[in-house]
Amino acid sequence: MTCDAPTPAGGPAPAVWRSRGTGRRSTRTLRVRVCAALAAATVLAVLLVPPLVQLDQQAVDLAAKLLPPSWEHPFGTDDVGRDLLLRCVYGLRVSLLVGVAAALTATVVGTAVGAAAGALGGWADRAIMRVVDTVSSVPHLLLGIFIVAMFRPGVWPVVVSVALTHWLSTARIVRAEVMSLRARPYIDAAVSGGASRWRVTVRHLLPGVLPQAGLAAVLMVPHAMWHESALSFLGLGLPAHTASLGTLIQTARGSLLAGQWWPTLFPGLFIIVPTLAIAGLAGAWRERINPRRRSELML
Amino acid sequence: MLELRAITAGYVKNAPVVRNVSLTIAPGEAVGLLGPSGCGKSTLARVAALLHRPDSGTLVLDGRPVRRWRHRAPRELRTAFGVVFQQPRLSADPRLALRDLVAEPLRATGRREGLAERVAELASAVGLTPDLLGRRPHEVSDGQLQRACLARALVLRPRWLVCDEMTAMLDASTTAALVAVVEEYRAATGAGLLAVGHDRTLLDRWCDRTVHWETLPARARPAEDGQPAPERVPAG
């Protein structure tokens, strides 16, 4: 806590902690609003632009190839004359779909495994967590490449690949939470009241871990988008004709060396901006569900 | 008859909190267990209520030795005990309204017929008004919450009641009210009672006999090596 400068004579002395707390809160509120606006713009763009605009993102116009940004093409055109703004929105659509689907799948798997380990305890817990440790010991991008290479390129192999390599952290978080909740007397009361192991888990333990699992899912969406982009960039994710942010950057890297910056910059921004927006919202959520942070917010 | 024979129990391997302790409660009898904080009386109460597996010793319930604890114990054996804990805040699921809190054992055991009537009957017995039943634990006082926890312990009509410092956090009038509810229930059903506490006056007035931890056949020595008793961790 720092001391403020002396206040003008006659004015009420402000409470130092309150003024500072209010300032931090307003900065936080502004940050949350900006993040929410960016996230909303992203979601609206991917949902509304394709059905409303009725333009063909695959329309090739070799006469207009590699045009820099202009009023007609705000993001410029790529090496075969396709409008990059439209391609970026379609690419974001695919990347967001992969991100959300992979994050949801990973969270469901991770929550189920973590809850089973935490609720069962004993040898079952030890066995499950050794499996988790074993899978964690393999670099997850490598494992993801291995999984995706077994299938024909497409959206769902990428979703499966990202989900199967990202449920581990959720499983660990959920297990720790379940073990902490299991020690509470209300679980003893439920056992004494005749509740089965399943009922204790579903009725008392899982609702207690849902905020943490939800937060893990939200934080995983941008991470999964990055993985999709990385796999597509390596040529292992989506087929080249499907616009995703990874394939856009991958096909544009040749023109970057020739000085055309726009085919890589804008898809890159389309990865970074939703990532920051989602991470900002998740950070605000974490502050709300963490009691220690919440007590600071109440200042 | 509830017999605890030579019970040794704890939470960390080779560091038992309770060592070789025996205690017998006759049907319908009210036994007060008196002892200082951290001596292991709550652990013994948890063993008696089938919530904590002892490291050694035997628990004999109505002449039959109990071999399994917690979820592994048969449901009808677990529900033979109604347990009330010391801290109502920690022993109530924060997401459940008091009505659901009291009804939870009925739902868990599939006895949904007449559920609302049974909850209303118990709520009136423990002194909870209908508007309180719709509130969640954070919206009521400790005393009101402990009343709901007592109602939950009684809802399955247990043959044994284990009150682990049930009144430690409550004022005198709420203490008197809760003890009166327990005694009324015992008078009606003939249930046995193990009341754990460190208030000798209360236990002497409440129970048929009061046992001091120091006078149990072999007392626990959690701090004999100079180390504090270990933290409570969940039993497997």
pLDDT mean over B163-182:
87
Instruction: Compare all CA atoms of chain B with the CA of A205 and give the residue at the minimum distance.
Output: B93
Q: With 90 as the cut, is the pLDDT of residue B232 above it?
A: no
Q: Categorize the per-residue pLDDT at B116 as very low, low, confident or very high, splitting at 50, 70 and 90.
A: confident
CB contact under 8 A, B234 and A122: no
Report if residue A250 sits inside a domain.
Answer: yes
Mutation target among B91, B138, B160 for the A interface, most CBs of A within 10 A:
B91
Three-state secondary structure call for residue A220: helix
* Residue-level pLDDT, tens digit, chain A, 299 residues: 444 444 444 455 555 455 455 566 677 788 888 889 988 888 888 888 777 776 666 666 767 777 777 777 777 777 777 778 888 888 888 888 888 999 999 999 999 999 999 888 889 999 999 999 998 888 888 888 888 888 887 888 888 888 888 889 889 999 998 998 888 899 999 999 989 889 998 888 888 888 888 888 888 888 888 888 888 888 777 777 777 887 788 787 777 777 778 888 888 888 888 888 888 888 787 777 665 544 443 33
Residue A23 falls within a domain, yes or no? no
Tell me the shortest Cα–Cα distance from A208 to chain B, in angstroms: 9
> Taking CB atoms and an 8 Å limit, are B156 and A196 in contact across chains?
no
Under an 8 A CB cutoff, do B90 and A184 touch?
A: yes
A211 within a domain of the structure (yes/no): yes
Q: Among residues B146, B160, B139, which one has the least CA distance to residue B91? A: B146
- pLDDT of B189 > 70? The answer is yes
Give A138-167 pLDDT, tens digit per residue: 888 888 888 888 888 788 888 888 888 888
Interface residue of A186, A202, A204, A294 to substitute, partner B, most B CBs within 10 Å: A186
| Residues belonging to chain A | 299
Q: Is B69 on the interface with A (CB under 8 A)?
A: no
Percentage of residues in chain B with pLDDT exceeding 90? 12
Question: A171 lies in a domain?
Answer: yes
Can you tell me the ipTM of this complex? 0.85
- Which band of pLDDT confidence, cut at 50, 70 and 90, is reported for residue B231? very low
Using a CB-CB distance cutoff of 8 angstroms, which residues of chain A are in contact with residue B149?
A: 189
pLDDT, position A283: 79
Residue spans of alpha helices (H) in chain A: 16-53, 84-120, 122-136, 140-149, 155-166, 168-182, 185-192, 197-199, 206-233, 245-257, 262-289, 291-298
CA B148 to each of CA A144, A233, B102, B162, B165: distance values in angstroms, whole numbers, following the listed order: 52, 60, 6, 15, 16
Smallest Cα distance from A295 to chain B, Å? 16
Q: What pLDDT, on a 0 to 100 scale, did the predictor assign at position B135?
A: 87
Q: Name the residue facing B87 among A185, A195, A203 (closest C-beta).
A: A185
Residue numbers in A near B92 (CB within 8 A): 186, 189
Identify whether A20 is part of a domain. Answer: no
As beta bridge partners, residue A77 has A83
**pLDDT for the residue numbered A130:** 93
Contact partners, residue B114, CB within 8 Å, separation at least 6: none
A16 falls within a domain: no
Residue A234 lies in a domain: yes
Q: In A, what residues contact B, Cβ < 8 A?
A: 121-122, 179, 182-197, 199-200, 203-204, 207-208
Contact indicator for B196, B14 with CB cutoff of 8 Å: no
Please indicate, yes or no, if residue A97 is contained in any of the structural domains: yes
CATH code where residue A189 lies = 1.10.3720.10
Please, which pLDDT band fits residue B221 given cuts at 50, 70 and 90? very low
3-state secondary structure chain B: CEEEEEEEEEEECCEEEEEEEEEEECCCCEEEEECCCCCCHHHHHHHHCCCCCCCEEEEEECCEEECCCHHHCCHHHHCCEEEECCCCCCCCCCCCCHHHHHHHHHHHCCCCCCHHHHHHHHHHHHCCCHHHHCCCHHHCCHHHHHHHHHHHHHCCCCCEEEEECCCCCCCHHHHHHHHHHHHHHHHHHCCEEEEEECCHHHHHHHCCEEEEHHHCCCCCCCCCCCCCCCCCCCCC
- The verdict on a CB contact (< 8 Å) between A188 and B85 is yes
| The two structure tokens encoding residue B26 | 């006759």
Residue B19: which pLDDT band, with cuts at 50, 70 and 90?
confident
Total number of domains in chain A: 1
Give the nearest chain A residue to B235 (CA atoms). A183
Range of the domain at A225: 42-298
